[in-house]
Structure 1
Amino acid sequence: MGRATELIESEQMGSDEAAFYDRLRPLVSSYSRSKAIRRVAVVGNQPLEPSAERAARIDSADLVFRVNGFRMDADDSPPTVGTRVDVVVFNRGVRPTPWFFEEYTERAYLMIEPGRLLWENPKIPAFWPPDLGMISMPNREVVLPLGEAMGADPREGGQWATTGTVMLWIATRLFPGAQTDATGFSFVDAPEQTSWHHAFGDPSAVGAEHRIEWESKLVRRWIDSERITYLA
């Protein structure tokens, strides 16, 4: 099976959406370790067994995306998820880990705000660095098209994708010609779960706004079509 080059109808970009990613792409690309972005790594927060091969694959990508309360490998721990991060995709309710604000001036921070469609307060937590320089992702060009692709109704039904799936969606929209290596998304194999177990920090409940069985189906489609490569 060859790598997918055509999107199904619900994943096609409209003109406004394409224009948004065209504007965002130069900014995100400026955080890459190479001029040509041929491969990106998109890392979720599922606890994973050590793997030097996986960690090396992540760290050798041209651009590395991580999500919310991520962790990275420490010098005294076995290689598992690598030590690089170039782009952080997060939401306002993030529980920062020791790595979240580390070297924040050297990263791009993309904040998603799907809750603003219905109820979310726009207040910024006082403990965030005042010069974080985050970019707020517009719901019209990001959250709503993804909702349509997975069969959710963000605007009326209060259903939207998890931040990890939004991260994967953004990465593949920004760099459709690059190879995308993804890892650490527990819902791919466990869409029935009702709580998240994180690589760092305590477990938390799957929010009522999420339908992770729909997300699993969407990402499985990308894996099966080889649009993305999933690293176990």
Structure 2
Amino acid sequence: MSPCAHTLDAGRGAESDGFLPRLRALAETFARELPVRRVAVVGNQPLDPSPERAHTIDTADLVFRVNGFRADDPGEPTVGHRTDVVVFNRGVRPTPWLFEAYTQRLYLLIEPGRMHWEPEQYPHFWPRDLGFITVSNRDVILPLNAAMGLDALRDGLWATTGMTMIWIARTLFPEAVCDVTGMSFVDEPDQRSWSHAYDTDCPVGPEHRLALEAALVRTWIDEKSVRFHR
């Protein structure tokens, strides 16, 4: 039995079928309060403890986390504990928090590589009763990469999962305050490997261009549509 996946398109230019409004409606069912006035988007950069940052995350109406994330243990306030939406790719590495209370979360799979070479394989450790939504390449991946000046179809270059998570949160809830943290590429666009708050370091994939991601996020910070927390 395979995990239940809802696949909407192959991401090769067909007209939109209303993916984003339907995804927003689904995400709202996982929100702490409605309407969603503030979202927290949390990456996996190692950060110093901060009760203020942890409180900002845990009191958001909707909390997004990425891949094999780390959440706070009791007495160690750093990035909070609440998790409502998990954005992940097929190479996700499990952590003790990834499947915690998974029936109370929304899991979103991004798969830009399916436009080129990536096979349709699911992690062997995925719970058999946990479904997920496959994010539309057409409605999310291609517009984001166009905003960064990349052509995912032509060149096989695309945004990181963390950057895609920020884009999803802002696109679904453009009227909400967006608190972003744990994204090391904003301050370190030249890095060649990722440091992880829980797992070992890993190389930055050759399909990513962190400098372009950093430039776009800084634009959002300057426009005050994103509040960045270090």
Please report the TM-score for the alignment, with normalisation by the length of structure 2.
Answer: 0.92
Deviation string for 1:145-198 (max 9, x for gaps)?
A: 101000111111010000000000000000000000000100000000000001
Report the Cα distance in structure 2 between the residues aligned to 1:36 and 1:18, rounded to whole angstroms. Answer: 24
- Answer whether contact 1:17 1:142 (CA < 8 A) is retained: no
Q: Deviation at 1:126?
A: 2.6
Q: Given residue 220 of structure 2, which amino acid in structure 1 is its aligned partner?
A: W
- Answer whether contact 1:33 1:62 (CA < 8 A) is retained: yes
Q: Structure 1 residues 190 and 231 mapped into 2: Cα distance closer, same or farther (>3 Å)?
A: same
Match of 2:116 in 1: 118
- What's the Cα RMSD here? 1.3
Q: Which moved more, 1:16-25 or 1:210-219?
A: 16-25
3-state DSSP of counterpart to 1:89: strand
Equivalent of 2:207, from 201, 206, 209? 209
Q: Deviation at 1:91?
A: 0.3
Match of 1:132 in 2: 130
3-state DSSP of counterpart to 1:36: coil
Alignment of 1:4-19 (within 5 A): 19=18
Q: Deviation at 1:17?
A: 5.4
Equivalent of 2:106, from 105, 108, 120? 108
Q: Deviation at 1:123?
A: 1.4
Match of 1:23 in 2: 22
Please report the TM-score for the alignment, with normalisation by the length of structure 1.
Answer: 0.91
Report the Cα distance in structure 2 between the residues aligned to 1:227 and 1:96, rounded to whole angstroms. Answer: 31
Report the Cα distance in structure 2 between the residues aligned to 1:127 and 1:179, rounded to whole angstroms. Answer: 35
What stretches of structure 2 of length at least 5 have no aligned partner? 1-14
Report the Cα distance in structure 2 between the residues aligned to 1:131 and 1:73, rounded to whole angstroms. Answer: 26
Match of 2:66 in 1: 67
Q: Given residue 218 of structure 1, which amino acid in structure 2 is its aligned partner?
A: L
Q: Deviation at 1:96?
A: 1.1
Q: Given residue 69 of structure 2, which amino acid in structure 1 is its aligned partner?
A: F
Count matched residues: 217
Report the Cα distance in structure 1 between the residues aligned to 2:186 and 2:17, rounded to whole angstroms. Answer: 27
What stretches of structure 1 of length at least 5 have no aligned partner? 1-15
Match of 1:56 in 2: 55
Match of 1:229 in 2: 227
